[in-house]
Structure 1
């Protein structure tokens, strides 16, 4: 039987869709019906397991799965003997402390002696201990936001993405405990064969994620401005410059960081660039 890398991902929830999307962008083809708990890639030595998010760290530690995709918050909360192999640059959020919006916040010491409701008792205990704060922790599995309103706690510690859920429940975010994103976790005793497969997968993940933050730019430039335009567009090594059929003009091709995209456009137009095309990059191998 072919040696396969067993990959655990969330069977439902906020990470499931993006985890499947990432694996497919990495060239793994597999079927995943709504009730399917296990499937195999048709073209890559991998088996995908669909599990509860909170269970993935345990399965990886036990060796049932070789690697898993989880939120960093889950990795930190579960405290299993596994390690982060690769950050995945999606599902970014934060675990924050929040209080009723009518309460006055005077700094982190405000939580001393208070009651805090959370689904992440280990993380918040570590945070409070680090800041020399003594507070009572109420561990609850869901609907954390309601705790202050029913008198269960003075504050909550929960995952925040936009903050809209807090606002709708009369709460305000006052302190970030940790920042989190999706991460690839692995056990510490992979065989050489499975480690080689994992290395190939990580190579593909890096290529996909690198491409997401960059754009491929093509433009026409007057020859007397090419040198200045190339200084604006350094590219991965240097821009590609090709002569056009029309005398005195060249085509310049380069890769730009999306964060700098609009600033580059303004500079290029000022230097006489025309016919500027910007297209997405699917994969980027450095």
Structure 2
């Protein structure tokens, strides 16, 4: 597989709002191509919305961002073409009834159908099959997944995979399309400390190969460029994220209820804001 080149990701005062509050707000980010970017925060803090907004799947409400020189939200469709989703609950999930082989074959067919050139489509069937197999093998190798090690090899059902094996399969499926940006949600969910270290080693190796990686997590690894979504004002530059006192003051200002307490505002800017953002913007 040809080594893809990653996309630089930048954002300034980037935010997404639903009718009852902000899913995220004030995001600042400056990451070079091939960076490992960790979107850190507790569940319900707008992490997934930020991941989807930066990959062109949700429309931001304010601020600006660029991915590979493509401006968001103006060029969302173009950003979607250069980015790929790994596991994102409710958006891109593995089918538990499918086998590993069926998932790989389906993704290769979709890739050839929608992204293949006319010249490639006109090649003899044997050449197309061999090319698809080579692309699958290269993606599996990059994801560190050897089907021969699974209980039933490629005939293993997704429901029988361990959490880390499923993550590797999702990453492999995404890499079949040779994206410039790979997005992964809930990276460290339900993983032991050892498995979490393996997951970050996997994503770091993908980034080292040239593909920019965006990963949602509860705790960012050392060395990653980190965006924190614990409040609605976040920033990340060269591996750090700082929240100023002015930013914290902004969080305590309720979006639509002046008499609300700070605790209520926190709820509005996380769980409800995220839910509303999904409903309001949809997933492109």
Name which one, 1 or 2, has greater alpha-carbon Rg.
1
TM tier, shorter chain? Answer: under 0.3
TM-score (norm 2): 0.25
Relative contact order, higher structure (CA 8 A, sep 6+): 2
TM-score (norm 1): 0.25
